[in-house]
Amino acid sequence: MERIKLEMKKIEIEFPGVKALKGVDFETVGGQVHALVGANGAGKSTLMKVLAGDNTHYAGQIVIDGKNVEIRSPKDAKHLGIEIVYQEVDTALIPYLSVAENVMFNRMVNDMKGRFLVDWRKMRLESQEVLKKLRVELDPDAIVGDLTLAQKQMVLIARCMAGECRMLILDEPTAPLSNAETEDLFRVVRGLSADGVAVVFISHRLNELYEICDTITIMRDGRNVVRMPLTKELPQNKIVAYMLGRSFDEAYAKHEITLGDKILEVNGLTTKDKSVQDIDFYVRAGEIVGIAGLVGAGKTELCKALFGAIPHETGSMRLRGKEVRFDSPLHAVQGGLALVPEERRKEGILITEPVRENITIAALSKYCGFLSVVKRWKERVDSLSMIKELGIKTPSEEQSVALLSGGNQQKVVLAKWLNSDAEIYLYDEPTKGIDVGAKRDMYELIERLAEQGKGTIYATCEFSELLSICDRIYIMYDGRMVKELSAAEADERTLLYYSTGGGDSNGRGEENRRTG
Ligand SMILES: Nc1ncnc2c1ncn2[C@@H]1O[C@H](COP(=O)(O)OP(=O)(O)OP(=O)(O)O)[C@@H](O)[C@H]1O
Ligand SMILES: [Mg+2]
């Protein structure tokens, strides 16, 4: 297949109230793995949706292999060999069909439309062929609904490659992946680029870009500001400075906060489904407690169990010394808990409702004034202040959340809980999809709540974040808490050691003995 040569010139897109792209130039060629970065709402997804034929009302010029082209539908994009994998991989797959059927889905639909009979045997063989070429080990007969997220993503990539794909766009593919899964994805991407496919790679995890990308385009506020080879000569802090338009130090200085009494105590918690077992821990007033662990260690399950969303089998929970039992998230909220869930689009958001409603809904009692005018006014004031503090990019507080960029939707969920009046805040992977600047704003808000004496539980696999803001860190492995460390004792290596199953009795000791 011939390598693609793509140029986008002066691309503009306007949505009601938002000029999302203000004349963007972008170019890439087959074989290149091109990083596309920028703050939340900069226009990355919008630009790539133009190429995928999902933003059809663009102005500007697209030149492919020296010829002017128009991309006015997803079909146009496919004809040109351009494919995109969006972040919500779930919605793009048919869960009750097999891997083979999902990989060959587009062809299947075409055959059916053309009233050809679907040759199932041939289809299965071809899907195997595609998977083999990608060197992905997946059973073609497996049902997609049973796969892990990472495997589903591979199925989608395979689907793209089942056609005549010359350019593959991956919009934040690594956000939900573990390190090992990310390595697998990178292996596939390297293979594709060696075959001459042009890959565009969008990510907020800037450090991983160096591993996989050779070129970078940085966008800011609907414009492209830099395009250059990506090497160590362009350090991460420079990238961030271009993204934000100002210099920015990622290192975060934690505030001194005086800790109070234990406000949450959990003893011997085991859930009915055994996803977490024998959990003992506590949180003091003003304390930010980290839960470290890799993807699948049970952090999400622990948060859900505390929040009354997974039934307990044994164990007790005390809030300010009083025994509590939450049978549902509603109880938990009434009891003073707030949870920023990992699957925010699914669990945390009223997608078609305005930003204002989303931000104020978790604290409705605040707004139940006796005059509804008062209520509306206060809602407006509070949501505007949250929009400002978290830098949520929206034309107004009345915009529907569905129309915000991915990262800004995440920020709305954060805002919703930060605005609620809870005692204990649970955060499950809160920075997923959020740019480095917004991450800082979020830290500030979390610390401000801690200063008011709130308790914080911060669960993530991004160890550097835990090291930035936590007072104490528990490490989870296989549904259990395997270690507790003070901030002073913790570093990335130690966290990794325990979260990959290293123990005090054997691993470390052995190592010491051998070196000692
Ligand atoms: N369909 C739409 N209607 C209205 N505004 C939109 C629509 N799609 C995108 N926007 C706006 O366009 C701007 C760019 O959004 P885009 O999704 O491209 O950002 P992004 O760079 O991908 O950000 P993120 O890192 O958060 O995913 C945002 O202000 C967003 O709210
Ligand atoms: Mg996006």
State the pLDDT at residue 253: 79
Res 367: pLDDT = 59
Average pLDDT, the chain: 88
Coil vs helix vs strand at 178: coil
**Ligand 1 binding site (Cβ under 6 Å of any ligand atom):** 15, 18, 20, 38, 40-46, 393, 403-408
Of 289, 347, 270, 261, residue with least CA distance to 469: 289
Whether residue 340 is predicted with pLDDT greater than 90 in this model: the reply is no
Greater model confidence, 381 or 70: 70
Residue 429 Rama label (left phi>0; alpha psi -120 to 50; beta): left
Contacts of 24 by beta carbon, 8 Å cutoff, 6+ apart: 8, 10, 11, 12, 43, 47, 60, 219, 222, 223, 224
In the structure, what pLDDT confidence band is assigned to residue 390 with cuts at 50, 70 and 90? confident
Expressed in angstroms, the distance from the first to the final Cα of the chain is: 57
Higher pLDDT, 186 or 111: 186
Would the pLDDT of 37 be above 50?
yes
Q: Give one DSSP letter per residue of 401-431, joined into a string.
A: GGGS-HHHHHHHHHHHHHTS--SEEEEESTT
Among 404, 410, 442, say which to mutate for ligand 1: greatest number of ligand atoms within 8 Å of CB.
404
**What's the average model confidence in pLDDT over 43-49?**
96
> Three-state secondary structure along 303-329?
HHHHCCCCCEEEEEEEECCEEECCCCH
For residues 403 and 147, what is the distance between their CA atoms, to the nearest angstrom?
30
pLDDT confidence band for 79 (50 / 70 / 90): very high
Question: What is the CA(407)–ligand 2 centre distance, in A?
Answer: 7
Cα(70)–Cα(51) distance, integer angstroms: 9
Report the candidate in 412, 388, 403 with the shortest Cα–Cα distance to residue 13.
Answer: 403
Q: Which residue's CA is minimally distant from atom 28 of ligand 1?
A: 41
Amino acid 302: pLDDT: 95
Rounded alpha-carbon distances, angstroms, from residue 508 to 140, 373, 497, 512: 41, 63, 9, 6
Question: pLDDT value at position 365?
Answer: 63
Relative to the CA of 15, which ligand 1 atom is closest? Answer: 4
Residue 111 reports pLDDT greater than 70: no
Checking if the pLDDT of 499 tops 80, the result is yes
Question: Which of 361-370, 373-382, 433-442, 470-479 shows the lowest mean pLDDT across its residues?
Answer: 361-370
DSSP string across 43-54:
SHHHHHHHHHTS
State the pLDDT at residue 376. Answer: 74
Alpha-carbon distance of 3 to 31, in angstroms, equals: 7
Contact 321, 491 (CB under 8 A): no
pLDDT in tens, 247-303: 777 778 788 888 999 999 999 999 999 999 999 999 999 999 999 998 888 999 999
- Cα gap 83→48, rounded to integer Å: 10
How would you classify the pairing of strands 215-220 and 455-460?
A: unpaired
C-beta atoms surrounding 355 within 10 Å: 28
Least confident of 154-163, 251-260, 438-447, 460-469: 251-260
Which pLDDT does position 345 carry in this prediction?
Answer: 60
Among all chains, which residue has been given the structure tokens 């350090």? 235
Looking at residue 177, its pLDDT comes to: 82
40 CA to centre of ligand 2 in angstroms: 7
**What is residue 372's predicted lDDT score, i.e. its pLDDT?**
58
Share of the chain above pLDDT 70, in %: 92
Nearest-angstrom CA–CA distance, 219 and 171 = 14
**What pLDDT was estimated at residue 25?**
97
Cα–Cα distance measured from residue 146 to residue 113, given in angstroms and rounded to the nearest whole number: 28
Atom 31 in ligand 1: residue holding the nearest Cα: 404
Q: Which helix (H) or strand (E) holds 105?
A: helix 105-113
Closest-CA residue, ligand 1 atom 19, reads 41
Whether 150 has a pLDDT exceeding 90, the answer reads no
Position 507 scores a pLDDT of: 44
Which mutation among 46, 221, 387 tests ligand 1's pocket best, with the greatest number of atoms within 8 A of CB? 46
Q: Determine the pLDDT at residue 305.
A: 94
For a ligand 1 pocket test, name from 15, 26, 436 the mutation site with the most ligand atoms within 8 angstroms of its C-beta.
Answer: 15
Report the pLDDT value the prediction gives residue 414, as an integer from 0 to 100.
Answer: 84
Is the model more confident about 338 or about 351? 338
Report d(CA 91, CA 77) in Å as an integer: 20
* Range in 100-104, 272-276, 373-377 the model is least confident about: 373-377
At 402, the pLDDT band (50, 70, 90 cuts) reads confident
Cα distances (angstroms) measured from residue 435 to each of 37, 203, 236, 243, 342: 9, 9, 13, 9, 16
Would you report the helix, strand and coil content of the chain in percent, each value rounded to 5?
A: 40, 25, 35
229 alpha carbon – ligand 1 mean position (Å):
26
pLDDT of the residue at 383: 83
pLDDT > 90 fraction of the chain, expressed in percent and rounded? 55
Ligand 1 nearest-atom number relative to CA 222 = 14
Specify the pLDDT at position 511: 41
* Confidence category of residue 472, pLDDT binned at 50, 70, 90: very high
pLDDT digits (tens, 9 = 90+) for 500-515: 888 876 444 444 333 3
Ligand 1 centre distance from Cα of residue 439 (Å): 18
C-alpha of residue 43 to centroid of ligand 1, in Å = 6
Q: Walk me through the domains of the chain, giving residue ranges and CATH numbers.
A: 5-244 (3.40.50.300), 251-336+423-516 (3.40.50.300), 345-422 (no CATH)
Does residue 360 surpass a pLDDT of 90?
no
Q: Is 280 helix (H, G, I), strand (E, B) or coil?
A: strand
> What is the rounded CA–CA span in Å between residue 390 and residue 408?
9
How many Cβ atoms are within 10 Å of 178's Cβ, its own excluded?
A: 17
Q: What is the pLDDT of residues 408-435, one digit of tens each?
A: 988 888 888 888 888 999 999 888 888 9
